[in-house]
Amino acid sequence: MIKDLYTSQSPEDTGAIAAEILRAMPDGGVIALYGDLGAGKTVFARAFAAALGITEPVSSPTYTILQEYPVPDGGMFYHLDLYRISDARAGLAFGVDEYLNEPGAWILAEWPERIETLLPPGTVRLQIRHLSETGREITRLS
Ligand SMILES: Nc1ncnc2c1ncn2[C@@H]1O[C@H](COP(=O)(O)OP(=O)(O)OP(=O)(O)O)[C@@H](O)[C@H]1O
Ligand SMILES: [Mg+2]
């Protein structure tokens, strides 16, 4: 079950929250991760990948838009950073819709507001907010 509110006091806490959310998504799905620059979206994505058993380092894909990782037990993990995608039309030109709708894959999108209209039904929308230097609040939007 994904809770409506999580509180994190450290990057490690955020990682544990990511692993807990993964347990509620055993067959894949889309996570739209909203939050300001430096909120902790990539920290969350890295821990999510690790919880999937991915051992490759997960870097910030800011300059690559998409990074794909095979999941050891099957399926794929797609990490999208849409900061440089202006809108849904640009997202479609890139082909994000194909990743977003791939069955049995986990997709985590940073800056999902850029492609809001392309997010499939069932997308888990999470917002990370700064509370303090190391404090964060993660809320489920829908
Ligand atoms: N509780 C916390 N959870 C997550 N990150 C934290 C926390 N406390 C401090 N941090 C720090 O905040 C920073 C988060 O950076 P991160 O790259 O994950 O942000 P981001 O949301 O992906 O930003 P961007 O929009 O630039 O991609 C890291 O330096 C991390 O160590
Ligand atoms: Mg990031």
Decide whether any atom of ligand 1 lies within 6 Å of the 35 Cβ. yes
Mutate to test the pocket of ligand 1, among 43, 62, 129 (most ligand atoms within 8 A of CB): 43
- Taking phi first (over 0 means left), then psi (-120 to 50 degrees means alpha), and beta for anything else, what does residue 13 get? alpha
Contacts of 115 (CB under 8 A, 6+ apart): 82, 85, 87, 88, 91, 96, 109
CATH number of the CATH domain containing 34:
3.40.50.300
Q: Tell me the whole-structure pTM to 2 decimals.
A: 0.97
CA–CA separation, 77 vs 66, rounded Å? 10
Other beta carbons within 10 Å of 43: 22
d(CA 17, CA 140): 12
83 alpha carbon, closest ligand: 1
Ligand 1 pocket check for 123: Cβ under 6 Å:
no
Helices and strands, number each (H, E), in the chain: 4, 7
In the chain, the amino acid numbered 17 is I
Q: Which domain holds residue 18?
A: 5-140
Residue 135 falls in which region: left (phi positive, over 0), alpha (psi -120 to 50) or beta: beta
Number of separate domains in the chain = 1
What tens-digit pLDDT sequence spans the chain (142 residues)? Answer: 999 999 999 999 999 999 999 999 999 999 999 999 999 999 999 999 999 999 998 887 557 899 999 999 999 999 999 999 999 999 999 999 999 999 999 999 999 999 999 999 999 999 999 999 999 999 999 8
Find the 14 Cα to ligand 2 centroid distance in Å: 14
